[in-house]
Structure 1
Amino acid sequence: MSKIRKVSKYVKYTEQELDDYKDAAGSCVKKMSANFHLNFLPSGLKDFKTALQKLLLYKLIGTYDDVLEGIILDIHNVKLIGSSAAIRFDDPKLHIDISSDCYIFKPITGAIVRGTVRHVSSSQICVIIYRVFSVYIKLLNKSDVKLEVNSEIEFKIKAFNLEHMYPYIEGELVNSIESKNNLKRPKIEIEDPGEIENVVKLIEDIKKDECSDSASMSPSKPKKRKKGVTFKTEE
């Protein structure tokens, strides 16, 4: 029961909240239809609705699904497939199939997501998204970034792995991305086309001065040949 309470504490959403996540620009929350196979003990028939809700919370919600390729945030519109449950040999559990609408967390590399800052250190920050998932962001230059705990920021998803017990998500600050892209050479604008000819003449004069200076200098001594190296001259 403690595990069910812990999961429900962190992943319990309202349907309106999930719809807002789904409809937000660049959101990583998707709504998908899916079927599931569940099994429970016959004692759950006393209060089938409560037993089914606990079963969904314990078995599905907050877990990674290989078929959906994401973490299930919540399940709505649950319907039974068929009117009877199956019983297998040497297994007291009842087996049922259900159809439902699932809200899935499916991050995409490069997506811009908003999150709440929960921790700030000298080298990285921790951001919470969708009230559940932790994102680690490395700070390239902390002096250029002013962050406070509980403030909201935008970041880019850089890498992730959801198949572990604790999902790993790495991000990158949007500001740092923009600063990298803006590090370009300044453009030189020449309003008068005649200035281009003057610049070309100036470069040619500099080259001539360099050639005259090199000619006036005394010739350097010839370099000694290295041992074991022979030269072939044409007669």
Structure 2
Amino acid sequence: MTKKISKNVKYTQAELENYTNVDGSCVKKMNTNLHLNILPSGLKNFKQSLLTLLSHKKVGSYDDKMEGIILDIHNVKLIGDSGAIRFDDPKIHLDVVCDCYVFKPVIGAIVKGTVRHVSSSQIGVIIYRVFSVSIRLVNKSNVKIEVNSEIEFRIKHFDMEHVFPYIEGELVNGNELGLENVNNLKRVKIEKEEPEDCKDEIDIIDLIDEIKEDELNESQTISPSKPKKKKKGISFKTEE
């Protein structure tokens, strides 16, 4: 996610300001302090090294203090005129103050996104050109949404602390578009009946057993079994 935002997605200042001005966008502009550590080699071009470090380490990452993912950082200012060096670490530790544009989703917020995928069971939406949102549907027959169109949805669930953030939404007009509601979904219990073929199979087996029994009785009546002959052996006579 960090690589995707910092290298592939470039937000303009006007674009970020527009996000913060839209109600329910879940993008906040926060002025905060950040702690960084830079190698001595970065002092050669300190400004560029500092901005590169912020982009690589902070942009696109979840920040516990701000409780969201940083989209971009602007107006970076160094706090103080010196940095700290630890005896067991060659890096220079310093603090900066900056404006962070943070994506902080809220359950129930209505957000606009671009449709990237439509199937019979769900809609895939992209927001802020990087975050994927999954919207579940009952069926596609009642859904008239085209790919690359813009729709509004309500945030239903999210988990932003993983490498790939998970966001689940529901359509604002969900009842009209066939939105799946797991809590209210009623499942009909279907009683299984014994197939007719199985019943016929049981009758046939009984019939075969009766035929075998009749044949056995008939054979015993017509051709009775002959007594077994005694085997001839040699007898020995003992003298008294």
Q: What TM-score do you get using the length of structure 2 for normalisation?
A: 0.71
Tell me the alpha carbon deviations over residues 74-120 of structure 1, each in whole angstroms, 9 at most, x when there is no partner: 11111111100110012110111000111110011011110001111
One of 48, 52, 58 as aligned partner of 1:50: 48
Which runs of 5 or more residues in structure 2 are unaligned? 179-240
1:186-209 superposed Cα distances (whole Å, 9 cap, x missing partner): xxxxxxxxxxxxxxxxxxxxxxxx
What is the percent sequence identity of the aligned residues?
69
Aligned-pair CA distance for 1:147? 1.4
Letter in 2 for 1:134: S
AA aligned opposite 2:153: F
The superposition leaves residues 199-224 of structure 1 with CA deviations (integer Å, 9 ceiling, x where unpaired) of: xxxxxxxxxxxxxxxxxxxxxxxxxx
Give the AA of the match of 2:84: A
Partner of 1:123: 121
Q: Which runs of 4+ in 1 moved over 6 A?
A: none
Please state how far the C-alpha of 1:148 moved relative to its aligned partner: 1.3
Stretch deviating more after TM superposition (67-76 or 143-152) = 143-152
Equivalent residue for 1:206?
A: none
Question: Partner of 1:207 in structure 2?
Answer: none
Give the whole-Å Cα distance in 2 for the aligned partners of 1:120 and 1:134: 13
For the residue of structure 1 that corresponds to 2:125, the secondary structure is strand
The DSSP-based 3-state class of the residue aligned with 2:44 is: helix
Shift of 1:174: 1.1
Quote the residue 1:80 is aligned against.
78
CA apart distance, 1:170? 0.1
Give the Å deviation of 1:8.
2.5
Q: Is the 8 A contact 2:4 2:130 kept in 1?
A: no
TM value normalised by structure 1: 0.72
Identify the residue that residue 212 of structure 2 maps to in structure 1. Answer: none
The answer for the alignment partner of 2:37 in structure 1 is 39
Letter in 1 for 2:44: K
1:25, CA displacement in angstroms?
2.0
1:11–1:73 contact (8 Å) kept in structure 2: no
Distance across 2 between alignment mates of 1:98 and 1:14? 21
For residues 173 and 2 of structure 2, what CA distance do their matches in structure 1 show? 39
**Counterpart in 2 of 1:140?**
138
SS of the residue 1:157 aligns to: strand
Which letter does structure 2 place at the counterpart of 1:163? E
The residue that corresponds to 1:27 in the other structure is 25
In 2, are the aligned partners of 1:64 and 1:162 still within 8 Å (CA)? yes
Correspondence for 2:96 among 95, 98, 101: 98
Tell me the equivalent position of 2:168: 170
2:110 corresponds to which letter in structure 1?
I
Distance between the aligned counterparts of 2:161 and 2:2, measured in 1?
20
- Return the index of the structure with the highest Cα Rg: 2
Structure 1 residue runs of 5 or longer lacking an equivalent are 181-235
CA drift of 1:178 comes to 6.2
